[in-house]
Amino acid sequence: MMERAVLLAKGSKIDSIDPALDKAGAVREEGTNAVWEIPANMTLEGMERLLIESTLKRTGGNKRAAANLLGIYRPRLYSKIKRYNIDPEMLNPA
């Protein structure tokens, strides 16, 4: 979905109302206008890491909820957290 959104986005921002996201099957939340700023040199892996981190922040570190929002199984999320050396505890200071 992210690859398609990046390829079809108009300009350097992916906006939640961008038709590319609709074609990719993204789920929009009621009342939000999410905009992603993508640096010109960011890799797909970098975008994936950013997406995982922001989803974990959004869910308060709840990996089950994050996996559900991302549309992946929890074991897959755990492997990506390990791969990208993400510390969910650091994303949600108490």
Q: Are residues 14 and 25 in the same domain?
A: yes
Q: Work out the average pLDDT over 83-94.
A: 82
Q: How many domains does the chain have?
A: 2
Q: Are residues 82 and 59 in the same domain?
A: yes
Q: For 67-82, how does the pLDDT look when each residue is reduced to its tens digit (9 = 90+)?
A: 999 999 999 999 999 9
Q: For 25-82, how does the pLDDT look when each residue is reduced to its tens digit (9 = 90+)?
A: 444 444 455 666 777 788 889 989 989 998 999 888 899 999 999 999 999 999 999 9
Q: What is the pLDDT of residue 84?
A: 95
The parent domain of residue 83 ranges over 43-94
Q: What is the pLDDT of residue 91?
A: 77
Q: Are residues 35 and 76 in the same domain?
A: no
**The Cα angle at residue 17 between residues 72 and 57, in degrees rounded to 5:** 45
Q: Are residues 11 and 53 in the same domain?
A: no
Q: What is the pLDDT of residue 39?
A: 74
DSSP 72: S
Q: Are residues 92 and 47 in the same domain?
A: yes
| C-alpha to C-alpha distances, 6 to 24, 55, 87, nearest whole angstrom | 10, 18, 26
Q: Are residues 84 and 49 in the same domain?
A: yes
Q: Which two tokens stand for residue 73?
A: 């199984």
Q: Are residues 36 and 72 in the same domain?
A: no
Q: Are residues 88 and 50 in the same domain?
A: yes
- 8 pLDDT above the threshold of 50: yes
Phi, psi of 17 (to 5 degrees): -100, 5
Q: What is the pLDDT of residue 76?
A: 95
3-state SS, residue 34: coil
pTM over 0.85: no
Q: What is the pLDDT of residue 11?
A: 67
Q: Are residues 47 and 26 in the same domain?
A: no
Measured CA to CA, the distance from residue 29 to residue 78 in angstroms comes to: 25
Measured CA to CA, the distance from residue 83 to residue 5 in angstroms comes to: 23
